[in-house]
Amino acid sequence: MHDERRRIEERVTRLHDQRIKPAIYAATVPLAVEAWQAPGEPVPFQEAAAASYESFEMGTPWGPPWGTTWFRMRGQVPAEWAGRHVEAVIDLGFVGDWPGNQAEALVHLTDGTPLKAVNPLNQYVAIANPAAGGESVDYLVEAASNPDILANDFAAPTPLGDVLTAGDRPLYTFRRADIAVLDEEVWHLDLDIQVLRELMLELGEHDPRRHEIMHALDRSLDLLDLDDIAGSAADVRAVLRPVLAKPAHASAHVISGVGHAHIDSAWLWPIRETKRKTSRTFSNVTSLADEYEEFVFACSQAQQYEWVRDNYPHVWARIQESVKKGQWAPVGGMWVEADGNLPGGEALARQLVHGKRFFIEHFGVETKGVWLPDSFGYTAAYPQLARLAGNEWFLTQKISWNQTNKFPHHTFWWEGIDGTRIFTHFPPIDTYNARFSGEEMSRAVRNYSEKGGATRSLAPFGWGDGGGGPTREIMERARRLKNLEGSPRVEVEHPDAFFAKAREEYPDAPVWVGELYLELHRATYTSQARTKQGNRRSEHRLREAELWATTAALHAPGYTYPYESLDRLWKTVLLHQFHDILPGSSIAWVHREAEAEYARVAEELEELTAQAVTALGGGGARVFNTGPFARGEVVRTAAGAPAYVEVPAGGSAPLTAVEPPQPVTVSGRILDNGLIRVEVAEDGTLSSVYDLRAQREVLADRGNLLRLHTDLPNYWDAWDIDKHYQNRYTDLLEPDSVTVVEEDPLVGAIRVERGFGKGSKITQTITLRAGSPRVDFETDIDWHEAEKILKAGFPVDVRAPHSSAEIQFGHIQRPTHTNTSWEAARFEVSGHRWVHIGEPGYGVAVINDSTYGHDVSRTVREDGGTTTTVRLSLVRAPRIPDPGADQGRHRFTYSLLPGASIADAVAEGYALNLPLRVAESAGEPQPVVSVEGEGVTVEAVKLADDASGDVVVRLYESLGGRARGVLRTGFPLAGAQVTDLLERPLEDAETDADGAVTVALRPFQVLTLRLRRAEVD
C-alpha cells in the first residue's frame, strides 16, 4: 500500500476546518440589539433594566477598559424552525481563545434570572425547542470589556492593569448576535472528526490503529457532499462509527475526568470582576449539568461561593440543587486557593477552618481533600494541617512547571515536617484546564510516572485561568473517549471517587518528604512588598486582638467578645492570601486595593485590641506582651523615653522600669551593650559584629551589604527571578551620611542614609538595645528603580551544612551546598520570621518583620574558614503585569541575632513581629494560659467559634524535637479536650493533680486544646 498519510491528513484538516465547522449552524436570523454604557463600576440588574437603551449595530466598537455595557437583545424564532435545536449565538468581538482574560458576558431574562455566560469558546445560549415556532427572545446581557493584559506576550508593560490608567478607548468590536439553528448531526460530525484526527496524529507511525483511523476518515469524507454538508453528515458519521466503537485495550490508562473552572480570585482583573466571573462560570456549569447527567464539577474556594450567595441568589439556588444531585462537588475546603508558602501557620489553619465550615453549613458536605492546582510551591506543614482539618488527600499540578528537575512521582504519599503523611496526586496531563485533546491524552499516558504500579490519574477539565469552565464540546469528547481503542479511558467522576480508587490500587505509593519546592516563580516571595507586609502584620494583629479579647472576656465584666468582627476580618485577610494576590503577581488595581484593605484591617484591629485592653480597667500604664515567651525588653513610654521592662508571656505588667543587665555605650561608630559590639564602617556597612559572650567575630566580610542586582527574568516578570540575576550588581558603598542618632544607656543607634540608582533613597537606623544581642536595621526606602532587586547580605563566619528557615508551625532545613541539581535549583527560597545558620556550638539568625524571600550560600576562604552568607530579598521592581510594582515608600525592620540557637530565633522572631504594647489599663489579669516546657509554643488563644465560651489554644512544638510541657490556665478549668482544627473533640486531654493540662508533642506537632471554664459562684 502506498503511503498517503500526507494527502489524507491535509484533506481531513481542510474539509473539517473550512466546510464542516462553518456548517454547524444551519440557519440564522439577527437579533435586534440596543446598548447602554454603565457609568463607572458595575450596577445591579434592576438599575440596568430601567436604563435607556440606544440602537446598536454589529461591527460597532464598544467597551472601554474595565467598563460594563448592557445590551438588550430581542428577536423571534421563525415559525419554520419549530422543533429544531435553536440557540442564541453571541460574539462580543472575542480575540484569541483565552476565555478568562478578555470580554465576557452574562445573559439574563428580563426578570433578572441569569441564564448563561458567553465566552470566546462558549458563545451559545440555548433556547427551549419551540413546539410551534415563533418563540420570542428578550435578553439583557451584562458585558464586561476587560482588557487582555497579556496580549503582548510579556513584551512590554501595559497601563491597562488599573482603571485609573487604562484610558477609555473601546477595546472590542461586536461581531454577532443571532438566533441560530444548531445542526446537531453536523455538530456531532465535527466532534467525531476532531477526536479521531487528534488520536490518529498521536499514535505511532507504524501503529495499525493510526492507519485504520486515517483510511476510515478518508473513506468517510468521500461521502461528504460539499453542496449539502448537513444532508450528507449522517452518511459520513456512519462510516466513522465502527472506528469510534472499538474498545480501549484492557490495560489502557484510566483518566478520571472532573469538571473544573480555575477562577483566580484576583489576578489580571480586580476582585470586583471575580465576583462577576463566578456568576458567569457557575451559570454555565449548572446549565451543562442539565444537559449531561454524568457531568461532575469540582469547585473550591468558599469565598467565591459566598460572593454568589450574596449577589446572585438564582445561581446560588442552582448550585445547591446541583450539589444535591451529585453533579457539583465542593472541594478544597479552603476559604481561597491560597499561596502555598507565604501564609502564616495560624492563617493556613484558618483557611481550612473557614472553608470546611462553609461547605458543611451550606451544603452538608465535608470536603475530603485539599485542592490547590495552581500555587507556587507548597509548605511542608501542609500534610499535618490538612489531616488535622479532616482531609484525606491533596491535589496540585503546579510542580510540573519545574524549570530544572522533573518531579519523580504523580501519585505518592507526602510526608510533612512532623511525620504526617497525606495521599497526594499530580495530574500527569499537566494542566488543570484540560479539554481532552488527543495531545493531552497522549501526554497523560506518556508522562505518567507510576506505570507498573498504578493505572489511573485525574484530569480537571474545563476552561480556566479566569473561568468559563467545561463546555458541551469537552463533555462530548469525554463520551467518545470513554472506551476508545488507542486512547486512555475517560471516566467522569467525583475527585473523592478517584482518590479512593487510586489509594486502593496503590497503597504502597512512594513517599516524598519535605516541602514541594517549585523551581520557578521564586520572585513571588518578594514582589509587591507592601502587600506582603500587609499580610504579615495583619496576621499578627489578629493574634493580638484575639488574645486580648479573650483576656477581657474572661476578666472584664460586661465585655462582649467580637465574634462577628474577628470572623469578618479573618476572611478579609484570608482572601488576600489568594495565590495571585499575596505572591504579588496581580495587576496594579489588585495591589492598590489590597494596600487599602490592609490599612482598614489594621485600623479596625487596633480599635478592637484597644477596646479589649481598656475593658480590663483604665488608670495606669501597662505593657502587654502578645508573644508566647516572657520578655525583658526596652520599650518607649508615651513620652518617647526608653524603659527596660519585664513582661510574662501572653500577659501584662506595669510600665515600671527595671535595671537592665548592662547599659549601651556609643563610641564613634561603635555600639556596645556588654553582649555584642557592633562597628559601623565609613561606607555604612558593618565592619565588625563581635560576640562578647562567645569572644568571637561573627562576620567574615562586610555585614548588611546592600546589593542592587539587575533583575530581568526570561518571561514572568513579577513571578520569576532567574539565576542570571546574580551576575550583574552594584554594591551600595557610598553613603550620604553615617550619624549617631541615639546615645542612651538603654538604646544606641546609628543612621545611614544613601541615595542610589534612579533617585532612590534608603535610610537605615542600626539599633542596639540594652539586654539584647539583637541588632535591628530599621529601614525606610523610597524606591524608584526598574527591573532591579535589592538584597541585604550577612556573610557569617560559620561552617553551616544547612540553613533553617521558619515555616508554618516549625522550620525546614535546606543544604547550603549545591551537590545536585535539586539543591542548585533552590537559589532563592522562602521563609517566615527567621533564617538560622550555625555550626556545632554557635549559630546566627537573621530575623525580619515582613520579608519572605532569601538566599543562603557558602564559600571557603583562603584561610580555610567557611563563610556562610544569608541575604534577604528586600524589594523588587518588576513591570509586568504592574508597571509600577513596589514603587514608592517601604518601611520595615530586619535584624541580626548573633550567638543564636533555634530557640532564640523562634523567640526573637515572635518578639520582632509582636512588639510590646504600652496602654492605659489598671487591670492585672493573669495570662489566659501559661506554658512550661521547652519547645511548647502557643500560636493562638481565642474563644471557641461556637460562642460556647470555651477557650481554644493552639500549641506546637517549635524546635524540632520531642517536648513535654504543662499548660496552666488563668481561669478555673472544668475540663480539656484535644480537638481538630475545626474545634471538634478528638479525645480528652490529660490533666495532672493540680488541674493543669499536660502535653507531650512529637517534633513540630500541632495541638489544639479546647478548655472548658468552670462555673464560678
Which residues are the active-site residues? 374
User: Which of 334, 53, 11 has its CA nearest to residue 197?
Assistant: 11
Give the bridge partners for 975, in sequence order: 1012
CA distance linking residue 837 with residue 122, whole number of Å: 55
CA distance linking residue 456 with residue 612, whole number of Å: 55
Classify residue 284 by burial, with Cβ atoms within 10 Å: 0-12, 13-18, 19+.
Answer: buried
Whether the CB-CB separation of 575 and 336 falls below 8 Å is answered with yes
C-alpha cell at 879: 513591570
Give the bridge partners for 845, in sequence order: 836, 897
Residue 244's H or E segment, with its range, is helix 229-245
Q: Is the sign of the CA dihedral 495, 501, 504, 506 positive or negative? A: negative
Whether the CB-CB separation of 462 and 432 falls below 8 Å is answered with no
| Angstrom distances, CA of residue 74 to CA of 109, 114, 452, 726, 855 | 11, 16, 59, 61, 61
Give the bridge partners for 765, in sequence order: 751, 778
DSSP 8-state assignment for residue 161: G
CA distance linking residue 380 with residue 394, whole number of Å: 12
DSSP string, 841-861: TEEEEEEESS--EEEEEEEE-
Largest CA distance in the chain: 101
- Roughly how many angstroms between the first and final C-alpha of the chain, as a whole number? 99
CA distance linking residue 498 with residue 880, whole number of Å: 38
**How many CB atoms are located within 10 Å of the residue 1006 CB?**
24
DSSP 8-state assignment for residue 524: G
CA distance linking residue 1001 with residue 932, whole number of Å: 13
**How many CB atoms are located within 10 Å of the residue 92 CB?**
27
CA distance linking residue 383 with residue 726, whole number of Å: 34
Whether the CB-CB separation of 459 and 478 falls below 8 Å is answered with no
CA distance linking residue 84 with residue 76, whole number of Å: 14
Query: SS3 of 543, please?
Result: helix
